[in-house]
Amino acid sequence: MKPRCPEYVKESMDPEQVEHCIRDKFGESVLSLELRERNGGKNNEVSYRDLWISVDKSRFLDLVDALRELDFLHFHIMSGDDTGKYVQLNYHFSLFRCAGRGKRLGITVTVDVPKTDLVMPSLWGRIPGTEYSEREIREMLGVDFDGLPNKNLIFLPEDWNEEIKPWRRDETGPKPEDIRELS
Amino acid sequence: MAEEVNKTYKVPIGPVHVGLKEPITAWLDVDGERIVKATIRPGAIHRGIEFMARDRNPIQIIYLAERICGICSFTHIVAFVRAVEDAAKIEVPARAQYIRTLVLELERIHSHILWAGVACYTFGYDSAFHLGMILREKVMDVLEALSGNRVNYGTGTVGGVRRDITPSVDKALRDMIVFYKSEFGVFYDVVMEDPIAKARMRNVGVLSREDAVTNCALGPTARGSGLRVDLRWSAPYEAYCDMDIKPVVPQDHVGEVHGDVFDRFLVRVLEVYQSIKIIENVLAGLPTGALMWESKLPKLLRHLKQAEGTGWGIVEGPRGDDSHILRLTAEKENITWWKVRAPTYANAVSWPIMFKDNELADAPLIINSIDPCISCMERMVVTDRSSGSEQIVTKNDLLRLCREKTGRVMGA
């Protein structure tokens, strides 16, 4: 599937508008929403904004598609952590990369993936640039991505025991005997 | 097997050399000299830095972050400390912001000149390579005067910087600006006006605008494809907030975009001029005042221990934007997790597209064009699948192929 809009928009929306748009569309499914200002320069003025969204897993794809209506959603990276019952994933995106000085809006979408069902829909069909990151999260945290064509290891060695997930903190994580201290 | 017509060979480039920062393997399917398909496999030297960091506090991680990359080490530090400052709500004094900007730009000049020189070397233009190395020494001298080191400057810290611009550093900087203004133009002319250099780089390793968007290309790689993207402009930070910086794109300078190696070269060379201008602005507008938000380390560590939150630091490095994200948990001395996304991570996704339908002799140039570590190509194995024979091709052989092509272009 080719992305619908392989070009960046020239006209940006205000971050507040984006925030309202998401609140209106997703209501209760958005678990938290924070618009953070980043300051800088001699007068310490607001130079750009980041939007931090936490969303229910069932509405994740809808949220991504809603954001894609606004601009081509530029993907930076996915970060994640094992929080106990969940593996928490943070997708880091940008909107309005090309729309003018100080217009870029950083967007982080946080999803809790329950350990009983460690599967996320792959964004590869929408944003091909997500491939490496999805493969990394798959091998490091054990979250599978439905729709990702290439699920080979990416950073771990070829002969890695795939039952060990390096970033997990439970029984699937590395045990003390798996870790070699160098000093 | 002998009558097989469309026979392709699989050529792995890379990955191993112990001293590398970003080694990567590229499996190239070649039909004669033409590259049909490319597959990338990174990870040969994944050091688990993010895992190691879980046992360290933010100040200790600065030194780990600095060692992610030898060339854009300060870029990584600034991205990291900005993530900490975001999570722990720390404001950086204006003078420190300006000094950070200054070192970021010095690093960009260093990286771009080194890259341009090595690119010339790759296609056999040795005199331009040596000229580039001579030019680069000047900025290295300034970095040494500022920090005492030629790489890994130890200049950044959470909430500020650890080195000031003293009168002697100021003089070294002004000398450097005068030097580059008179000497860098020579380098620009010898490469940009040279028909052979143009022939070797034009229409090689093309990345179209659409592919650059969908594959999330960054920095000079994206700008070389005509995308007006630059965080110093679209999301200004530090002293860039007080400056009007325009992304450098080929269409503004030569009127057209090809998205090839030549355009990436052009963007980097022009960005050196832009960086010199920014350094002049920094020196002209350098505010007075403190260098750090909190100079007493135990106090700073106490504040960081109490902080709770996730922070995202993103800066425009020489190769593209560099993201650091981390989580601080209250009452925990060490960070909870940390994620680093260096620009090559994103730009390498575009390699297979750039390789397609190019000649094997252009492979070193294409790999080089996104500015990864060229030494990745220490060694490669050519496998003839039909006969099952294997032949080791060294980096020197590959370089010879690339240089011989220049000879052919010149009609020698």
Rounded CA separation B54/B335 (Å): 6
Per-residue pLDDT reduced to its tens digit, B281-290: 999 999 999 9
Model confidence band, residue B34 (pLDDT cutoffs 50, 70, 90): confident
* Most confident among B70-74, B76-80, B377-381 (mean pLDDT): B76-80
CB contact under 8 A, A41 and B94: yes
For residue B378, pLDDT over 70 is answered with no
Per-residue pLDDT reduced to its tens digit, A66-84: 999 888 899 999 999 999 9
Predicted local distance difference test score (pLDDT) of residue A86: 94
Least Cα distance to B225 among B245, B204, B211 occurs for B211
Residues B134 and B204 in one domain: yes
Backbone φ, ψ for residue B153 (5° rounding): -80, -15
Residues B234 and B329 in one domain: yes
Per-residue pLDDT of chain A (183 residues; tens, 9 = 90+): 444 457 888 888 899 999 999 999 998 889 999 999 999 999 989 999 999 999 999 999 999 999 998 888 999 999 999 999 999 999 999 999 888 899 999 999 999 999 999 999 999 999 888 988 999 999 999 999 999 998 888 888 888 888 999 899 999 988 888 877 776
Residues B109 and B187 in one domain: yes
Q: What percentage of chain B has pLDDT greater than the value 90?
A: 47
Model confidence band, residue B381 (pLDDT cutoffs 50, 70, 90): very low
CB contact under 8 A, A8 and B312: no
Rounded CA separation A84/A79 (Å): 16
Closest residue to B236, CB basis, from A40, A50, A129: A40
Residues B20 and B66 in one domain: no
Could you tell me which chain B residue has the CA closest to the CA of A8? Answer: B213
Could you tell me which chain B residue has the CA closest to the CA of A126? Answer: B214
Q: Is residue B4 part of a domain?
A: no
CB contact under 8 A, B91 and A38: no
Residues B102 and B192 in one domain: yes
The mean per-residue pLDDT over the stretch B372-401 comes to 46
Q: Does B388 touch chain A (CB under 8 A)?
A: no
Predicted local distance difference test score (pLDDT) of residue B376: 23
Residues B351 and B232 in one domain: no
Per-residue pLDDT reduced to its tens digit, B54-66: 889 999 999 888 8
CB contact under 8 A, B323 and A76: yes
Predicted local distance difference test score (pLDDT) of residue B412: 57
Residues B211 and B224 in one domain: yes
Q: What percentage of chain B has pLDDT greater than the value 70?
A: 89
Predicted local distance difference test score (pLDDT) of residue B386: 43
Chain B residues with CB inside 8 Å of A154's CB?
41-43
The CATH number of whichever domain residue B88 belongs to comes to: 1.10.645.10
The mean per-residue pLDDT over the stretch B337-350 comes to 85
CB contact under 8 A, A98 and B339: no
Q: Is residue B3 part of a domain?
A: no
Backbone φ, ψ for residue B112 (5° rounding): -70, -40
Per-residue pLDDT reduced to its tens digit, B345-365: 888 788 888 888 888 777 777
Longest Cα separation, chain A? 55
Query: Residue B27's domain spans which residues?
Result: 9-45+347-410
Model confidence band, residue B330 (pLDDT cutoffs 50, 70, 90): very high
Predicted local distance difference test score (pLDDT) of residue B92: 93
Best of B50, B98, B213, B336 to substitute, by most chain A Cβ atoms within 10 angstroms, is B213
For residue B375, pLDDT over 90 is answered with no
Predicted local distance difference test score (pLDDT) of residue B231: 93
Q: Is residue B2 part of a domain?
A: no
Domains: count for chain B: 2
Predicted local distance difference test score (pLDDT) of residue B345: 80
End-of-domain residue from the set B317, B341, B365:
B341
End-of-domain residue from the set B287, B320, B341:
B341
- Return the minimum-mean-pLDDT range out of A61-75, B116-130, B158-172, B371-385: B371-385
Predicted local distance difference test score (pLDDT) of residue B201: 87
Residues B211 and B324 in one domain: yes
End-of-domain residue from the set B289, B315, B341:
B341
Cβ(A39)–Cβ(A49) under 8 Å?
no
Cβ(A45)–Cβ(A4) under 8 Å?
no
Q: What percentage of chain A has pLDDT greater than the value 70?
A: 96
For residue B70, pLDDT over 90 is answered with no
Residues B114 and B13 in one domain: no
Rounded CA separation B291/B297 (Å): 13
CA distance to A81, B205, B254, B399, B405, per residue, from B199 (Å): 49, 13, 16, 17, 10
Question: How far is C-alpha B17 from the chain's CA centre?
Answer: 19
Residues B277 and B385 in one domain: no
Model confidence band, residue B118 (pLDDT cutoffs 50, 70, 90): confident
Model confidence band, residue B41 (pLDDT cutoffs 50, 70, 90): confident
Residues B295 and B379 in one domain: no
Model confidence band, residue B222 (pLDDT cutoffs 50, 70, 90): very high
* Most confident among A155-164, B30-39, B41-50 (mean pLDDT): A155-164
Chain B residues with CB inside 8 Å of A101's CB?
233-234, 236, 244
The mean per-residue pLDDT over the stretch B157-165 comes to 92
Could you tell me which chain B residue has the CA closest to the CA of A101? Answer: B234
Residues in CB range of B314: below 8 A, 6 or more apart: A76, A106, B79, B82, B231, B235, B237, B321, B322, B323, B324
CA distance B352 to chain A (A): 12
Predicted local distance difference test score (pLDDT) of residue B370: 72
The CATH number of whichever domain residue B373 belongs to comes to: 3.30.390
Q: For chain A, list the domains and their CATH numbers.
A: 15-178 (3.30.460.80)
Model confidence band, residue B80 (pLDDT cutoffs 50, 70, 90): very high
Query: Which is higher by pLDDT, B191 or B227?
Result: B227
The torsion defined by the Cα of A125, A131, A136 and A138, in degrees rounded to 10, comes to 30
CB contact under 8 A, A74 and B216: yes
Residues B319 and B384 in one domain: no
Least Cα distance to B146 among B163, B162, B161 occurs for B163
Least Cα distance to B236 among B143, B299, B321, B329 occurs for B321
Q: Does B94 touch chain A (CB under 8 A)?
A: yes
CA distance A103 to chain B (A): 6
Mean pLDDT, chain B, rounded, equals: 84
Q: Does B397 touch chain A (CB under 8 A)?
A: no
Could you tell me which chain A residue has the CA closest to the CA of B237? Answer: A40
* Most confident among A157-161, B98-102, B408-412 (mean pLDDT): B98-102
The mean per-residue pLDDT over the stretch B83-101 comes to 94
CB contact under 8 A, B46 and A156: yes
Instruction: Output the six-digit token pair for B75.
Output: 């870029």
Chain A residues with CB inside 8 Å of B316's CB?
none
Rounded CA separation A143/A139 (Å): 8
CB contact under 8 A, A129 and B242: no
